Structure 1
């Protein structure tokens, strides 16, 4: 029996494929017209002027959503804290809008209890991570509120703005900090917060114990002695749960005077050039080596 090709079958199959192809093409054309969404070509151009860091400091998930928000007039260029002021002005000129002014924020750590002044109640030998250590009995540090010093914050900082000092306390380089909030989210002790760079008076502690009990765990802890409250304008500082708290709505009243009589140096003045300044009555920290574990 001979097998052969039937010309009629080949023609029918070819016609079927032609009709099917045409039908599918028609469906794609209709779908494209129905589902097509206009995208402003300026979005790509504005995105190219952004840093592509996708850090979220501007309040959007990334640089492209920020570019879209700029085009829609929902945000201003100055809200990108990673870009230089000059670059934000270029974006403003391109869009024909005001660059705007936004208060610069920086990440600040509410702890200065390094291993030379803060006592350890146990030896931790697990995963080198603050989050892991905090999950084991709230961490090995005597002060339950203190920084665990294992550098999770430095690890997540994409801008190299955080490093650990010799006493395992994170130090923020304000010039590099973009207020991206990553260190705030990663810290298991909630010690980081984003603060206006213009606020110079700062409580370098979160310990809620009172008096000698706080100082027994950490030599630089706030002891709720109230000297800063007495030396400051009324309402600027209060004691809340054994911890000094600054009312930054009265920041214009703040001065170094509030720090002068603090015996532990828990309240400090942050100077752009000189760095952390403690009051004259703060006990000097002489020991630079780690305290032995209890």
Structure 2
């Protein structure tokens, strides 16, 4: 009889506890916007942190609750942005972001300032006299960016980081790790030019450091009809909100450092090159003299 009473008592206590928990979950529940889960499902799920948030769930919550732009998921690309924009009732930007290295200081153009034998990271080398290259603004070339890229989209070629635009997702991890800040996430798109130099020194000093430096001559600024490019702190910078991608600045640049690195067109605007002077005609060879043989008289 005691056993039966104990079982009945435990059953009643369990039932009452269950009822209390169900009631508490109903009255104390925090309702979550269903769009958060929908946005999360649109993301790539890589949790790479390229959007600036701890993971995909945090970014989805920020999109829904705080109105964060829907195009920050680099691995998801334009498709994810369009899907999120549809959920949020807006439109997504059609521009696909890519990383661009604003430096051409390879071994041909930028010589080493000293023989660096220290820790093989860009951060360590940059802390020692501004880096091992004669240009203190140049890409250090030890590959910190390649180590953080999860998409195998950036590699060191002849001392300078080069981006594989087909693999790059524009996540910004390489730009965030670069101690020289020469990597930008190009918001202009493939049809806009990029100033491939970050040297802020004056012209003569910049040219001694690297032969492909911007010399801040202002030719691009005077040429542009849309007020889209200006020399700021000794180097040309482009306002992509105003830039039309006409390419006139690239054609007029005397150092040829304004390029279209993301352009799909196989024939981007080329700098104006003066034709070479015609080679001098070779001197005419003197005519050889032919001596007449003496005639022999017939007997």
**TM-score, structure 2 normalization:** 0.72
Is the aligned partner of 1:194 residue 2:185? yes
Is the aligned partner of 1:226 residue 2:218? yes
Q: Which has the higher Rg, Structure 1 or Structure 2? A: 2
**1:199 Cα deviation after fit:** 5.2
Partner deviation per Cα, 1:46-82 (whole Å, 9 max, x = no partner): 5344211223455644222333456669467655342
Partner deviation per Cα, 1:238-284 (whole Å, 9 max, x = no partner): 223322222333202x42222234333222233224388652349xx
Where in structure 1 are there 5+ consecutive unaligned residues? 1-16, 283-294
Q: Secondary structure at the match of 2:99?
A: strand
Aligned to 2:277: none
Distance 1:26 1:122, change over 3 A: farther
Q: 2:196 aligns with which of 200, 204, 215?
A: 204
What is the alpha-carbon root mean square deviation over aligned residues?
Answer: 3.9
Q: Matches of 2:183 and 2:267 in 1, distance apart?
A: 18
Distance 1:275 1:190, change over 3 A: farther
**1:186 Cα deviation after fit:** 0.4
Q: Matches of 2:237 and 2:96 in 1, distance apart?
A: 21
Distance 1:44 1:247, change over 3 A: closer
Where in structure 2 are there 5+ consecutive unaligned residues? 1-9, 275-299
Q: 1:159 aligns with which of 143, 151, 174?
A: 151
Aligned to 2:59: 66
Q: Matches of 1:242 and 1:118 in 2, distance apart?
A: 18
**1:231 Cα deviation after fit:** 3.0
Aligned to 1:109: 101
**1:118 Cα deviation after fit:** 0.4
Is the aligned partner of 1:184 residue 2:175? yes
**1:128 Cα deviation after fit:** 1.2
Partner deviation per Cα, 1:140-167 (whole Å, 9 max, x = no partner): 11111111011111211112221222x1
Aligned to 2:123: 131
Q: Matches of 1:194 and 1:163 in 2, distance apart?
A: 16
Give the number of aligned pairs.
272
User: Which deviates the most, 49-58 or 133-142?
Assistant: 49-58
Q: Matches of 1:168 and 1:143 in 2, distance apart?
A: 13
Partner deviation per Cα, 1:196-248 (whole Å, 9 max, x = no partner): 21452211111122222211111111112233233332633322332222233
Distance 1:210 1:100, change over 3 A: closer
Q: 1:171 aligns with which of 162, 174, 178?
A: 162
User: Is the CA contact (8 Å cut-off) linking 2:101 and 2:183 kept in structure 1?
Assistant: yes
User: Which deviates the most, 71-80 or 231-240?
Assistant: 71-80
Q: Matches of 1:164 and 1:150 in 2, distance apart?
A: 7
Structure with more relative contact order (C-alpha pairs < 8 Å, separation 6 or more): 1
Aligned to 1:148: 140
User: Is the CA contact (8 Å cut-off) linking 1:56 and 1:62 kept in structure 2?
Assistant: yes
User: Which deviates the most, 177-186 or 35-44?
Assistant: 35-44
